[in-house]
């Protein structure tokens, strides 16, 4: 059974801090790892990672994948209150084409 574990489950920081969110996975025939941000309702796509060691970057957010150790991290630098959200990672396999989600990390950024 495919499995995705995120840590920590929740995190409280102050504006300006840097945070690292973790995602480990066990997926048969792994294809890609995706990160989503869920603020109020619908998750929205952040990154997709398929290759080890290649950093994806968007503004203050960046992510990297380690396919040997089966994990990914999401970094957010200079956090802002608008970064407060649940961050979900999902691992996709090649066979079924469906994504298995972790339970998410709830990030709270205080002013």
Q: Does 104 bind other proteins (CB under 8 A)?
A: yes
Query: Angle at CA 57, nearest 5°, toward 10 and 5?
Result: 35
Cβ 44 to other proteins shortest distance, Å: 8
Shortest reach from residue 9's CB to other proteins, in Å? 8
- CA–CA separation, 14 vs 32, rounded Å? 32
Rounded Cα–Cα distance for residues 44 and 64 (Å): 18
Selected binder of other proteins within 76, 88, 91, 107 (CB under 8 A): 88
44 binds other proteins (CB under 8 A): yes
- Beta pairing class for 19-26 and 105-110: unpaired
Binding-site member from 48, 61, 70, 73 for other proteins (CB under 8 A): 48
Per CB under 8 A, 95 contacts other proteins: no
């Amino acid at each position: 059974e495919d499995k995705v574990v995120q840590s920590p489950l929740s995190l409280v920081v102050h504006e300006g801090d840097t945070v690292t969110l973790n995602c480990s996975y066990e997926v048969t025939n792994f294809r890609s790892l995706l990160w989503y941000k869920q603020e109020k309702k619908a998750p929205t796509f952040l990154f997709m990672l398929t290759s080890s060691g290649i950093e994806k970057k968007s503004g203050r957010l960046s992510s990297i994948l380690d396919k040997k150790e089966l994990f990914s991290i999401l970094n957010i630098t200079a956090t802002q209150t608008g970064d407060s959200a649940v961050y979900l990672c999902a691992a996709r396999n090649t066979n079924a084409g469906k994504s298995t989600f972790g339970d998410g990390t709830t990030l709270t950024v205080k002013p």
